[in-house]
Structure 1
Amino acid sequence: MKDSNQAPAEAADPATSTPQAFTKYQVFVVAILAILQFTIILDFMVLSPLGAQLIKELSITPKQFGWVVSAYAFSAGASGLLAAGFADKFDRKKLLLIFYAGFIVGTLMCGLSPDYVSLLVARIVTGLFGGVIGSISFAIITDLFPMQLRGRVMGFVQMAFAVSQVMGIPLSLYIANAWGWHAPFLALVGISIVTAVAIVVYMKPITAHLQLQTERKAFGHLVHVLSDRHYLKGFAAIVLLATGGFMLMPFASAFTVYNLGISLEDLPMIYMVTGVCAMIAGPLAGKLSDQLGKYKIFAWGSVITMIVTGIYCTMGVSPLWLVLLMNVLIFIGATSRMVSASALMSAIPEPADRGAYMSVQSSVQQVSGGVASVLAGLIVVQTSDGTLQHYDLIGYLVVLSTLITMGTMYYINKAINQKAKQAEATTAVPA
């Protein structure tokens, strides 16, 4: 019987594939990683809807708020590079728990921060640990699941993003309105502790990749990953993918309230409705990417994103139903891109390089997102009545980056398919 911790051989991504069933342990892994991703994503995303409240209560400018958001991204980027060299040299379960413990401490610091400076420091600490967790999780997925299952796995794990919209953010806003902006972070600490205990008790060690390691030192391993031309194409795609979300997200709630005329009381409803739709879109996009092709789903999601974003960022005061519709379409497009791209790019690294590649990828994503957040903070100007100016320019930049990303992912998809065909030809046994 095949060891469940063994890294599966890569398979091609045909237009159609035969669905495979998950084992009970695989179901647990998918579930616990989804919950873990929920805590990480909510910790980051909750700042955006709290933006209007934080700017007011801490008496800070949009530029300062942009730094609060990007502080997490920059520190996460730095830790990703530092972790890359030894990411493949330890049991992935132990590595996951170490960084998750640091994330919990950082989130606790956020919940106890009395002012802007302490919050900024807390976000840096949280980013140092939390920014690496996603890369470790995706390395675990790539180790335990074959290519023909990864679309569905990514769809369910990335559904954590949608669940944070449906449950996490509305509940966090409710808690923040009732007990202050510190309370959501403290509640998140409690959920994270329970998740960590479940990982300790039920997750098996993941060590098969250790058998593939060479004598290369940590720094040499990092240099190897950073110099591989195939890996560099994947990192370039991540830079482009991160730009859009990080430019739009930090000021989304402020734009919705001050420019579109939606009340703070209706804001949770927008996040809840869009989250429900994203919960449906995530697993569906994963299933379709396995059946129809991951790049095809990515391309359709990109087209939806470009059209709707171009319209949305130029809107003025609008009725609630229209704002809801536009947000739903944006999230369907974004979810389709995120799920299909994650599944597709999981085939880029070799088994022995997965942890390092995912760490560098996470680092590149976070740093790119941090730069995008700072850039957005420099572009957007808030008038005396709260209205945001130049948000339309951000929309145009997102459309441009999405278009370029489509071209980049096309060549990545082509290279992965060629690699799969070569592997099949090499391992084929003559009749």
Structure 2
Amino acid sequence: MSEQKTATFSGYEKFIIAILATLQFTVVLDFMVLSPLGYILLDKLSISTSQFGLVVSAYAFSAGAAGLLTAGFADKFDRKKLLLFFYCGFIVGTFLCGIAPTYHFLLMARIFTGLFGGVIGSISFAIITDLFPIQVRGRVMGFVQMAFASSQVLGIPIGLYLAKEFSWHAPFLMIVGLSIVVGFFILTYMKPINAHLKLQTGGNAFAHLGKTLARPEYLQAFAATTLLATGGFMLMPFGTAYGVNNLGIREAQLPTLYMITGISMLVFSPLIGKISDKIGKYKVFLAGSIITCVMTLIYCNLSVTPLWIIIILNVSLFVGITARMISASALMTAVPEAKDRGAFMGINSSIQQIAGGIASLLAGFIVSETSTGFLENYPTLGNVVIFAVIITALLMYRIHKYVTAKLAASPAPQNTAV
């Protein structure tokens, strides 16, 4: 795709956006489905909140380790081949989750899945950066990040239904079936993505990793990513248990809550992406951060609340979180040089996963469950999230200034807001 701003996408570009969005849908759903299944797993596997937090964070920790191990090699291979390799491993891991008979088997299966699934997002972002200029990346990210909304509209309600009708294993097996179809389309229709190979100068993969880690402008991006992951990873694992046991949501109402929230995000995600390209990605990030702070403060201090109020608050919270995700993702893609994209995205994803894993683990220790299922210390959890959001906004401002200066110095015309 040309570096000039284009009003429309070609047919192949639309396919790339669609297939990456669907791929992200399967990976995101594999992670997010654990949250609504939380109250089921706490009961069926007779585990504590800290053990459940470990199941969530185990995926993140293994994904982070895999990201670091593969980052040095990420720019050495055709991105299509790399994507297929890790996606196949992700499918196998998810299948193991779908047949897990015990808590410890599930824990090992989540670790295996994370080793492969955690790298997929970074490869996808590298592909987007290779194929689309910064002028339209907000729009592209807006569509690809619809995977989160789609997982709530379609994936989570269907997953909850299958878990209720069959067992908690069923949602994972559903993801396996869909992932096989996605893998087939990638294998058959995606063209090789190897232009970055011409920019490589050879050398040791670990040396490439070390040089990427050592660049100051990259380090500040990694620092921002560390805190960026905190909000979602802290609130999501116990979201359903909090809703059912603290807010008084009935289990039968959960699919309605997730579906309405998801439909809202399907509407807002592309709109947020388009606005971020038009008025500036950091402005959208800052607005999303303010919304996230306000909604987190309100949501985490609720008692038993009518469903319609919870829906409004939940939608508002996710608007803030989504605005932060889309704008930050688009802004981060402009940080690395072309020859470092794969390594940068791999390390960035790895740091995000590890930080998220630590956040999930901490959330499991901050929150405690009483004999009635009531979750204590949720307001404290909300305060920690708000603090992280504020610090992240300050760090992202530095990224914004760096990217603005970098684009201004580029010989190519840069008529986009960042």
Q: TM-score band (shorter)?
A: over 0.9
> Which residue is equivalent to 1:265?
252
Write the deviation string for residues 78-137 of structure 1: whole angstroms up to 9, x where unpaired.
000000010000000000000000000000000010010000000000000000000000
The one-character-per-residue Cα deviations of 1:317-371 (angstroms, maximum 9, x if unpaired) are 0000111111000001111110011001100000000000000001000000000
Residue ranges of structure 2 left out of the alignment (5+ in a row)? none
Report the Cα distance in structure 2 between the residues aligned to 1:227 and 1:84, rounded to whole angstroms.
14
Summarize the alignment of residues 285-304 of structure 1 with structure 2, pairs less than 5 Å apart: 285-304=272-291
Q: Which residue of 2 aligns with 1:173?
A: 160
Root-mean-square deviation (Å): 1.2
Which residue number corresponds to residue 329 of structure 2?
A: 342
- Counterpart secondary structure, 2:251: coil
- Kindly, what percent of the aligned residue pairs are identical? 59
Partner residue in 2 for 1:157: 144
Match for residue 24 of structure 1? 11
Q: 1:158 & 1:215 partners in 2: Cα distance?
A: 34
Q: In the alignment, what sits opposite 1:192?
A: 179
1:75 maps to 2:46? no
Further displaced range: 406-415 or 122-131: 406-415
Quote the Cα distance in structure 2 between the aligned partners of 1:173 and 1:61: 21
Residue of structure 1 in register with 2:22 after alignment: 35
- C-alpha distance in 2, partners of 1:411/1:86? 28
CA deviation after TM superposition for structure 1 residue 425, in Å: 8.7
Distance in 1 of aligned mates of 2:165 and 2:335: 46
1:383 aligns to 2:338 (yes or no): no
Aligned 1:317-328 pairs, distance under 5 A? 317-328=304-315
> How many Å apart are 1:33 and its aligned residue?
0.2
Matched, 1:109 2:68: no
Q: Distance in 1 between matches of 2:147 and 2:412?
A: 38
**Corresponding residue of 1:395:** 382
Distance in 2 between residues matched to 1:98 and 1:421, nearest whole Å = 37
**2:198 corresponds to 1:211:** yes
1:65 is aligned to 52
Provide Cα deviations, 1:247-287, integer angstroms capped at 9, x if missing partner.
10100000000000001100111110111111111100100
Query: 417-426 vs 153-162, which deviates more?
Result: 417-426
Letter paired with 2:309: L
In the aligned structure 1, how far is the partner of 2:190 from the partner of 2:24?
16
AA of the residue aligned to 2:375: L
Deviations 1:173-219 (A, max 9, x none): 00000000001101110100000000000000000000000122100
Give the superposition deviation at 1:19.
Answer: 5.4
Letter in 1 for 2:135: Q
State the secondary structure of the residue aligned to 1:265: helix
Equivalent residue letter for 2:265:
A
Residue matched to 1:14: none
Cα distance, 1:426 vs structure 2 = 11
Q: Partners in 2 of 1:26 and 1:173 — Cα distance?
A: 34
Number of aligned residue pairs:
414
State the TM-score, normalized to the length of structure 2: 0.98
In structure 2, the residue matched to 1:244 is 231
Residues 425 and 283 (structure 1 numbering): CA distance in 2 closer, same or farther, change over 3 Å?
closer
1:333 counterpart letter in structure 2: G
Which residue of the partner structure matches residue 342 of structure 2?
A: 355
1:55 is aligned to: 42
Cα distance in structure 2, aligned partners of 1:336 and 1:372? 20
| 1:125 counterpart = 2:112 | yes
TM (norm. structure 1) is 0.95
- Distance in 2 between the 1:221 and 1:398 partners? 34
Distance in structure 1 (CA, Å) of the matches to 2:370 and 2:35: 19
User: Which stretches in structure 1 are left out of the alignment for 5+ residues?
Assistant: 12-17
Q: Distance in 2 between matches of 1:425 and 1:117?
A: 54
Report which stretch shifted further, 403-412 or 103-112: 403-412
1:97 aligns with 2:74: no
Q: Structure 1 counterpart of 2:362, which letter?
A: L
**Number of the residue aligned with 1:15:** none
Equivalence for 1:329 = 316
Amino acid at match of 1:216: G
Query: 1:169 Cα shift?
Result: 0.2
How much has 1:424 moved relative to structure 2?
3.4
Give the residue type in structure 2 aligned to 1:104: I
